[in-house]
Amino acid sequence: MSNIHAVVLNCSLKPSNETSNTQALIDESLKIFEKEKVSYEIVRLVDYNIKYGITDDAGEGDEWPEIFNKVKAADILIIGTPLWLREKSSIAALAIERLYGGSSLTNEKGQSIYYNKVGGTVITGNEDGAKNAAKSILYALSHVGFTVPPNVDPYWVGDAGPGDSYIEAGGDEHEFTQNNIETMSYNLIHFARLLKEHPIPAEGNTME
């Protein structure tokens, strides 16, 4: 069976020397990747100097091209984000702009460079908005060329209003969220394998 590689963009507003609840939920998915021999890499975007602009390379000092190379080499892309005011983080918005900036690049068949890649999202917040953020992220991925398998939007949120976040609340024992993490992880793997063996035919979907 082909080797599958996953890249996770953690769009936390906190740098990697601080604890990220989103990372804690992502880690549950990575356990399954390990069990299934899927290699992976995690990128904490806030650690990088990512410039603004709808381009795959914003020039001097822009560290997105390094991240973009990882995305190009990946079969699976997961965007992990916290929720603020029911939305994905501004860094997730930035990542999507930069992915969009590379969407006119093509593979050797003339399709979007994101064809045959599979996307999902992992979301944590303490109150509300996970599905709002998920729809925004998954739609963007689909719109630029990723395939979106069923049920790739696991999340954890607490009840209405401020409260404990995922780690403090013991979210790793929340059965609904854990089931959804498992479903996402397997569906990403199933589709990555499927598309690796049977790439999308270059008919009706090339960019001229």
Interface residues for a copy of itself in 33-72 (CB under 8 A)? 46, 52-54
Contact residue for a copy of itself among 59, 61, 170, 201 (CB under 8 A):
201
In this structure, are residues 129 and 86 in contact, taking their beta carbons and an 8 Å threshold?
yes
> Rounded to whole angstroms, how far apart are CA atoms 55 and 64?
10
Compute the least distance from the CB of residue 62 to a copy of itself, in Å. 13
Nearer to a copy of itself, 80 or 171 (CB): 171
Contact residue for a copy of itself among 24, 27, 32, 167 (CB under 8 A):
32
Nearer to a copy of itself, 80 or 158 (CB): 158
In this structure, are residues 195 and 147 in contact, taking their beta carbons and an 8 Å threshold?
yes
Phi and psi at 182, nearest 5°, equal: -65, -45
Check residue 142 for interaction with a copy of itself (CB under 8 A): yes
In this structure, are residues 118 and 190 in contact, taking their beta carbons and an 8 Å threshold?
no
What character string, x for contact with a copy of itself (CB under 8 A) and - otherwise, covers 146-185? Answer: xxxxxxxx-xxxxxxxx------x-x--xxxx--x-xx-x
Contacts of 34 (CB under 8 A, 6+ apart): none
Contact residue for a copy of itself among 113, 145, 165, 192 (CB under 8 A):
145
Check residue 84 for interaction with a copy of itself (CB under 8 A): yes
Check residue 194 for interaction with a copy of itself (CB under 8 A): yes
Compute the least distance from the CB of residue 3 to a copy of itself, in Å. 18
Nearer to a copy of itself, 8 or 157 (CB): 157
Q: How many CA atoms lie within 13 A of 85 on its CB side?
A: 2
Check residue 205 for interaction with a copy of itself (CB under 8 A): yes
Write the single-letter amino acid at 187: N
Binding span for a copy of itself by CB under 8 A among 1-9, 59-67, 69-77, 193-201:
193-201
In this structure, are residues 24 and 172 in contact, taking their beta carbons and an 8 Å threshold?
yes
Compute the least distance from the CB of residue 41 to a copy of itself, in Å. 22
Q: How many CA atoms lie within 13 A of 14 on its CB side?
A: 11
Contacts of 39 (CB under 8 A, 6+ apart): 3, 4, 5, 6, 33
